[in-house]
């Protein structure tokens, strides 16, 4: 019997389990599955058929990137079908206490050894220095590469990203003249928004050479030198001699590694003045103990998108923050907002595939295939609750907390509000 005949029945069973009519084209030209499919898998290499029958969707994604598999159909249909291929909850750890302990120990050792300054810089540059023009194709005009905030359902992506920037500034109760640090400042949207709209003196840090050069260009064009600076610097090397009033970390601590999180937050505490506030905005894991998504999805993202990245459950994040001697004072889940953000990004990339191919050069097809699956797959992961996103506001405690921090959350949702000890609303 040929390999395709051995795998034909398991493949037919997998196709029958999918919520949409799907078909598989085998290398010998045979088709199995629906006669009028909405989604088709064209097998170029029998390994891809094996991965389909196994429900190894991370391996299938790799097959697609490497050309062993073609996928014909809409990304929304693909992501509606993908969860049915899995045979277990991808947020669960390996079964058995011994396997869990081995798994956790292995990832702890990996995280400690893979987060040197040099390696972290290389990993960040692998992703963020891919091409500024490529990211500009599917991000908003400010190039905000994190979850937007749709304070009204009718908002465009650009409006929702501006709403997110303002939401963070209000939560941090920014005031003119305060010193603000943006850790992992990206293309500078929050850094510049805080300076221009809230009058703070802003410092951003990044390990991306492209982002560092881009933001410094914008600072010069806007005439903000002296009030805004962007440094090519590791968070571990930020000067602690002049503490900041406010700190934001947006999409940064996913790159730190679980064992290093308490050290990270301890550093943030040392960078804050007593009574200062930190906003930590980060993707979190849906499971309490898993170090990455199962089904090969975590391995795919690590290989093609975010090398060295690691997610933790929000409870782990809160624990690490507390061990770093910061006091969490507010937490908000933005999972529905990220579902919408990711689909808008994914749809924007789909609308600009030809432009992306022209600008990315010889490796364009592999990169585009990886990002198509990454963006749409991430949207699916947030829809299923495999991943989430939380904004956690924390304070470096001091003896004037009651005077500094409002008694309710109204100030976060009032446009232009900078509630403080004078104008706070007592509930």
Cβ proximity of 239 and 213 under 8 Å: no
Residue whose entry in the numeric block shows the structure tokens 């050479």: 209
Rg (CA), the chain: 23
Starting at the edge strand that comes first in sequence, how are the strands of the sheet with 244-250 ordered? Answer: 228-232, 201-206, 179-183, 244-250, 272-285, 387-395, 327-333
CATH fold of 3-85 reads Nonspecific Lipid-transfer Protein; Chain A (3.30.1050)
Q: What's the pLDDT at 364?
A: 92
The token duo for 427 is 């509930």
Q: What are phi and psi of 45, to 5 degrees?
A: -140, 135
DSSP, res 286: S
Asked whether 350 and 406 are in contact (CB, 8 A), the reply is no
User: Alpha-carbon distance 415 to 408, whole Å?
Assistant: 16
Element (H, E) at 400: none
Handedness of CA 180, 186, 192, 197 (dihedral sign): negative
Return the domain boundaries, the chain. Answer: 3-85, 117-413
pTM of the model: 0.89
Are 250 and 283 a contacting pair, CB within 8 Å? no
Residue listed under structure tokens 């446009």: 415
The domain over range 117-413 is classified in CATH as 3.90.1150.10: no
pLDDT (tens digit, 0 to 9) for every residue of the chain, 427 residues total?
455 667 888 888 888 899 999 999 999 899 999 999 999 999 999 999 999 999 999 999 999 999 999 999 999 999 999 999 887 788 876 555 455 555 555 555 555 556 666 665 555 555 556 788 999 999 999 999 999 999 998 999 999 999 999 999 999 999 999 999 999 999 999 999 999 999 999 999 999 999 999 999 999 999 999 999 999 999 999 999 999 999 999 999 998 988 899 999 999 999 999 999 999 999 999 988 776 777 788 888 888 887 878 899 999 999 999 999 999 999 999 999 999 999 999 999 999 999 999 999 888 999 999 999 999 999 999 999 999 999 999 999 887 776 677 888 888 887 655 544 333 333 2
Q: What pLDDT score was predicted for residue 45?
A: 94
Q: Which long-range contacts (CB under 8 A, 24 or more apart) does 397-405 make?
A: 397/274, 397/275, 397/327, 398/274, 398/275, 400/275, 401/275, 404/275, 405/329
């Amino acid at each position: 019997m040929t390999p395709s005949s051995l795998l034909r029945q398991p493949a037919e069973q997998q196709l029958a389990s999918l919520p949409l009519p799907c078909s598989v084209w085998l290398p010998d030209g045979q088709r199995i599955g629906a006669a009028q499919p909405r989604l088709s898998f064209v097998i170029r290499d029998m390994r891809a058929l094996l991965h389909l029958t196994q429900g190894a969707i991370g391996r299938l994604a790799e097959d697609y990137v490497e050309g062993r598999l073609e996928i014909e159909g809409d990304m929304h249909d693909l992501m509606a079908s993908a969860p049915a291929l899995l045979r277990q909850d991808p947020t669960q750890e390996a079964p058995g206490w011994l396997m869990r302990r081995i798994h956790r120990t292995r990832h702890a050792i990996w995280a400690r050894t893979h987060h040197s300054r040099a390696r972290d810089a290389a990993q960040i540059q692998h992703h963020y220095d891919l091409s500024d023009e490529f990211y500009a194709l599917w991000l908003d005009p400010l190039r905000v590469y994190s979850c937007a905030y749709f304070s009204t359902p009718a908002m465009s992506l650009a409006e929702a990203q501006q709403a997110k920037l303002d939401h963070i500034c209000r939560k941090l109760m920014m005031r003119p003249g305060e010193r603000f640090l943006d850790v992992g400042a990206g293309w500078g949207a929050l850094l510049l928004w805080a300076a221009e709209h809230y009058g703070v003196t802003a410092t951003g840090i990044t390990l991306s050479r492209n982002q560092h050069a881009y933001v410094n260009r914008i600072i010069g064009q806007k005439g903000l030198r002296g009030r805004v600076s962007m440094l090519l610097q590791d968070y571990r090397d930020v000067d602690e001699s002049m503490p900041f009033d406010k700190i934001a970390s947006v999409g940064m601590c996913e790159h730190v590694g679980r064992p290093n999180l308490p050290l990270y937050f301890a550093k943030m505490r040392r960078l804050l003045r007593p009574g200062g506030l930190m906003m930590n905005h980060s993707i979190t894991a849906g499971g309490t103990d898993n170090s990455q998504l199962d089904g090969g999805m975590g391995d795919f993202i690590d290989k093609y998108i975010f090398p060295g990245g690691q997610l933790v459950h929000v409870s782990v994040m809160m624990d690490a923050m507390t061990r770093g001697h910061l006091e969490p004072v507010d937490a908000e889940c933005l999972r529905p907002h990220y579902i919408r953000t990711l689909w808008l990004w994914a749809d924007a990339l789909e609308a600009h595939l030809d432009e992306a191919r022209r600008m990315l050069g010889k490796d364009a097809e592999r990169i585009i295939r990886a990002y198509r699956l990454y963006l749409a797959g991430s949207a699916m992961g947030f829809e299923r609750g495999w991943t989430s996103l939380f904004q956690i506001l924390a304070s470096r405690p001091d003896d004037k907390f009651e005077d500094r921090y409002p008694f309710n959350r109204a100030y976060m949702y009032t446009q232009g509000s900078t509630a403080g000890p004078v104008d706070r609303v007592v509930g």
